[in-house]
Structure 1
Amino acid sequence: MTMNDLIDRFNAYPLGQKVLAVFILMIGIFVGFLTLIYRPMQDEIAAAETQRSELQRELGRLKEISESRAEVVARLNDLERQLHIAREKLPVSAEIPSLLQRIHNQAKTAGLEINRFRRNEDIASEDFIEIPVEMELVGSFDEVANFFYFVGRMTRIVNVKDINVSRQASGLVADGQLEVSAKATTYRWKAN
């Protein structure tokens, strides 16, 4: 049967049957379209929308993690910087000879005469070790003040205590020189 035969047979039917046949054919095409194309597409669209919303939630979570990571990294960098500063002030290693040499050199630079500069026995406490140094210096008020100013400006922690100041007498008249005895103490972390 050819296409012409089908068209001739179709034309032989009355108009009502032709309209009904075309209507049934259109309904069949519509149902076929719905079941074979439209519904699977809608299911794919719904699945894609679900996946999209899940991915957006995941993206939001990852952005939040990224932002908090940036904050954590910034905080970590700040803490590392603070630790570096603390280690300069209170190091773990015993770089004490160079520190004592710097103090001794500063006393000389300030113009002080050093009568005694002696390191005493270390004193251990729970977290750190005290390193005391006894010193006796002779110089003018300005020289002594400059020396203590330098010690106070050092990056390392150095405490000066037990300061005794007396005027040095030479003959009948004091010449303005001061005799200073003090105990300087610096610290270092106790090695665990």
Structure 2
Amino acid sequence: MAVDLNTYFDKISRLRMAHRVLIFAGTVLVLIALFVWLIYMPKTAEIKSLTTQLDKLEKQLRLAKARARNLEKLEKELAKAQGDLQFALRLLPTTSEIPNLLKSITKLGNDSNLEFLLFSPQREVSREYFIEIPVNIEVRGGYHDVALFFDKVSKLDRIVNVVNVSMVPVQSTSTMLKTTCKSLTYRFKE
């Protein structure tokens, strides 16, 4: 069944000019409406969606670039922190080195002409990153001998702090002092 367009054109040509203009305008309006409905509106929605995605991706890109700029700085800080940790680990004795360190402290006291009255390792105290090993010490000797002992302890390769120092004369007229203190050494918490 073929459609004969000539029949339609003949019918339209017999209509008055006002009707022909209305048919033409109606056809144009229908075509415009179809274009807007089927092409323009979907593409506008797609453009809006893509613009939103583009904004989101640009924001992610800016954040990534900012992180990349800081990456080198953060890597340097990490390397420095790891170096500091390795240095600190060298200063902190391991579990197996503790007895030798305590013997070294005793030897330093004897070399400083001090008589040990008490040398009592105490229970270890756990801290966040390390373990504190306290030792109660009581010695007898002259003031300068005690000062020499403390100086030698401060020069050990390992960290040893001397705290709670108390010096009392052995006798009221004597130059000999009874010194009590606590030495604290540390080891890394494994």
Q: TM-score range by the shorter chain?
A: 0.5 to 0.7
Cα deviation, residue 83, structure 1: 4.4
Preserved CA contact (<8 Å) 1:122 1:129: yes
Cα deviation, residue 177, structure 1: 0.4
Cα deviation, residue 105, structure 1: 0.5
Unaligned 5+ runs, structure 2: 1-75
1:103 — aligned with what?
A: 105
How has the CA–CA distance of structure 1 residues 114 and 91 changed in structure 2, closer, same or farther, with 3 Å as cutoff?
closer
What is the DSSP-based 3-state SS (H/G/I as helix, E as strand, rest coil) of the residue aligned with 1:105?
A: helix
State the distance in 2 between where 1:179 and 1:101 align. Answer: 21
TM-score (norm 1): 0.54
Cα deviation, residue 151, structure 1: 1.0
Preserved CA contact (<8 Å) 1:139 1:179: yes
State the distance in 1 between where 2:85 and 2:128 align. Answer: 19
Cα deviation, residue 167, structure 1: 0.9
Q: What are the equivalent positions in structure 2 for 1:54-65 lying under 5 Å apart?
A: none
State the distance in 1 between where 2:126 and 2:79 align. Answer: 31
Deviates more, 1:148-157 or 1:128-137: 148-157
What is the DSSP-based 3-state SS (H/G/I as helix, E as strand, rest coil) of the residue aligned with 1:176?
A: coil
TM-score (norm 2): 0.55
Q: Which amino acid aligns with 2:181?
A: A
Cα deviation, residue 174, structure 1: 1.8
> Which of 143, 151, 154 in structure 2 is aligned with 1:141?
143
2:125 — aligned with what?
A: 123
Q: C-alpha offsets along residues 26-72 of structure 1, whole Å, 9 cap, x if unaligned?
A: xxxxxxxxxxxxxxxxxxxxxxxxxxxxxxxxxxxxxxxxxxxxxxx
State the distance in 1 between where 2:86 and 2:129 align. Answer: 17
RMSD: 2.5
1:179 — aligned with what?
A: 178
Preserved CA contact (<8 Å) 1:116 1:135: yes
Unaligned 5+ runs, structure 1: 1-73
State the distance in 2 between where 1:80 and 1:105 align. Answer: 34
State the distance in 2 between where 1:107 and 1:137 align. Answer: 8
> Which of 150, 156, 159 in structure 1 is aligned with 2:158?
156
How has the CA–CA distance of structure 1 residues 77 and 184 changed in structure 2, closer, same or farther, with 3 Å as cutoff?
same
Q: What are the equivalent positions in structure 2 for 1:85-96 lying under 5 Å apart?
A: 85-96=87-98
Cα deviation, residue 94, structure 1: 3.9
